[in-house]
């Protein structure tokens, strides 16, 4: 088992980290989405985000209130520009 692991690590070390697209076979190269396909993908993502937001809105009254440095007294997230939010970020930065 140790020999297998050492062999795999050695093989991984000689594998290039970045592979140029030109080095890939034509059928394995990534393709840019067509404009309509991209628009459809973006629309599905927006619908999923709105559904997720609506679901959180429905569940919020049933969820327990969790207080932390990132929330106000009611449990809602603080905006990043809020003084308490900035203080929490500074405390995290100082502790590391």
- Asked whether residue 69 is assigned to any structural domain, the reply reads yes
- In sequence order, the 6+-apart residues with CB closer than 8 A to the CB of 77 are 70, 71
The whole-angstrom separation of Cα 62 and Cα 93 is: 33
Q: Show the domain range for 79.
A: 65-96
Count of domains forming the chain = 1
- Asked whether residue 74 is assigned to any structural domain, the reply reads yes
Q: What is the pLDDT of residues 20-40, one digit of tens each?
A: 888 888 888 888 778 888 899
**pTM, entire model:** 0.38
Q: What is the pLDDT of residues 48-96, one digit of tens each?
A: 989 988 887 887 777 666 555 555 555 555 555 555 556 666 666 676 5
């Amino acid at each position: 088992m140790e020999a297998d692991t050492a062999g795999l690590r050695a093989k991984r070390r000689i594998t290039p980290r970045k592979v140029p697209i030109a080095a890939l076979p034509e059928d394995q190269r990534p393709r840019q989405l067509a404009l309509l396909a991209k628009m459809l993908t973006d629309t599905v993502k927006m619908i999923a985000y709105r559904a997720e937001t609506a679901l959180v809105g429905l569940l919020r009254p049933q969820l327990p209130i969790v207080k932390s440095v990132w929330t106000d007294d009611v449990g809602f997230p603080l905006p990043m520009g809020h003084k308490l939010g900035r203080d929490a970020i500074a405390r995290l930065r100082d502790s590391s």
